[in-house]
Structure 1
Amino acid sequence: MRTAVVCALLCAATLLGPSAAASAPQAPPPAVSVSVAVTDGVNDTEAGKRLDYRITVHNLGPTDVHRARIEQEMPATTTSATAPGGTVEGRGTGEQKVIWRSDLPAHDIQVFTATAVLGDRTDLTTTAAPGSMRAAATVCVYVGGSFAPTACSGDLDDLPETHPERGGGDGWVWWAVGAVAVALLGPGVVRAVRRRAAARH
């Protein structure tokens, strides 16, 4: 009889144990804290130049981050890009993007590098600032397969204005028109002046 009672108590404890454990409040996962910074070491550039980017990712939290995704959007005029350890996506101008995947140990700093070669601007009708445009690169860190970035940073470089000189072109046109007018009308004006002078005398 005692054996049956003991078995019954043990079976009940076994069945109730997991449900009791499951109902116990679970500690929330530690928050992920990551920072990122990007720089190419210059403030202005131009077509044909190569920009060397340095991306620094810092895991500020006490927990390891596995398979973080680091994405860099290259400037709009980028014609070619390289990234050691990363994958370059997009081939056309304005479509270059670099992706790295890396573990970020707790309190650790990871450094990534990339290069971009700039081409000529195709749109000369607008500017981001008087006399210049910007070569902008953006880096974001994504954690846990999320589509929302955990941290982002950017780098801006001035591009010189390359609008054609409109005034100079118009000036040449007016000079040409004036020369043609003088060539066509000049003899007639001279004859008219001579006739008037002869009539007076």
Structure 2
Amino acid sequence: MRTAAVCALLGAASLPGPSAVAYAPQAPPAVSVTVAVTDGTDDTEAGKRLEYRITVHNLGTTDVRRARIEQRMPATTTSATAAGGIVQGHGMGRQKAIWRSDLPAHDIQVFTATAVLGDRPDLTTTAAPGTLRAAATACVYVDGSYAPAACSGDLDDLPETHPEEAGRDGWVWWAVAAAVAALFGPGVVRAVRRRRTAKGR
């Protein structure tokens, strides 16, 4: 009996069992997506309403479920909307539009958003640090990842000055004119008096 039991155990051990590879976690299929964002213009100014179009293309052969599409608005945005999505954040430099959507294989999806720009807080602060531009970025995230699968940006030139600066320049010119009048006015008056005195003689 013992010999038979041992032989049975040896025979079972020699049979091919389930491969360890079969139980190994499978890597998710590679995702290939692109994103493009544009507002159809190259320059803008405070008070202007920008209309953004975000185009997402799934180039892969696998559907992407519940992708997250995010667009960060320009830093001077005062109000924003996202058709079919939500807007998070309040105040300048903190607003972004977010959408959740399935991306079927080879499919193209379009999302739209708007942003209204305000003035730069002061003359030394710009919409994008170190530039005079309004910058917006759009990214696609899949599988709950914090790293984007694709990103794109849109830049619009801003005017070199804004109304406050123009008004300030006007006051500077008035001040200069007043100073010139104060310096040369008395001399002009004396010259006129001398001429009148000479004619009277």
Q: TM-score band (shorter)?
A: 0.7 to 0.9
CA distance in structure 1 between the partners assigned to 2:108 and 2:5 by the alignment: 61
State the one-letter code of the partner of 1:170.
V
Q: CA RMSD in A?
A: 3.5
Distance 1:24 1:177, change over 3 A: same
Q: Which amino acid counterpart does residue 17 of structure 1 have in structure 2? A: G
Distance 1:51 1:123, change over 3 A: same
Task: Summarize the Cα distance change of 1:115–1:171 in structure 2 as closer, same or farther, 3 Å threshold.
Answer: closer
Report the CA distance between 1:105 and its aligned residue.
1.6
Cross-structure match for 2:85: 86
Task: Summarize the alignment of residues 1-201 of structure 1 with structure 2, pairs less than 5 Å apart.
Answer: 8=9, 12=13, 17-18=17-18, 21-23=19-21, 28-125=27-124, 133-163=132-162, 164-165=165-166, 168-182=170-184
Counterpart secondary structure, 1:141? strand
For 1:152 and 1:159, locate their aligned partners in 2 and report how far apart those are by CA, in whole Å.
Answer: 23
**CA displacement, residues 148-180 of structure 1 (integer Å, 9 cap, x when unaligned):** 211100111222222525665433223212333
Post-superposition shift, 1:101? 1.6
- Secondary structure at the aligned position of 1:17 is classed as coil
Secondary structure of 2:17's aligned partner = helix
Alpha-carbon spacing, 1:13–1:112, altered in 2? closer, same or farther (3 Å):
farther
CA-to-partner distance for each residue in 1:84-118, whole Å, 9 max, x for gaps?
A: 22121111022111111222121111111111111
Q: After TM superposition, give the deviation of residue 38 of structure 1 in Å.
A: 0.8
What's the TM-score, normalizing by structure 2? 0.74
User: Runs of 5+ in structure 2 lacking a partner?
Assistant: none
C-alpha spacing 1:169/1:107, structure 2 compared with 1 (3 Å): same
- Equivalent residue pairs, number: 187
Residue deviations 1:44-96 (CA, integer Å, cap 9, x gap)? 22222211111111111111222211110001111111112212111102211
> Which 5+ residue runs of structure 1 have no aligned equivalent?
none
Q: Deviations over 1:11-42 (max 9, x none)?
A: 6478x623xx1146967543211100111112
Length-normalised TM-score, structure 1: 0.74
Distance in structure 2 (CA, Å) of the matches to 1:54 and 1:125: 30
| Distance verdict in 2 for CA 1:56–1:9, change over 3 Å | farther
Deviates more, 1:116-125 or 1:70-79: 116-125
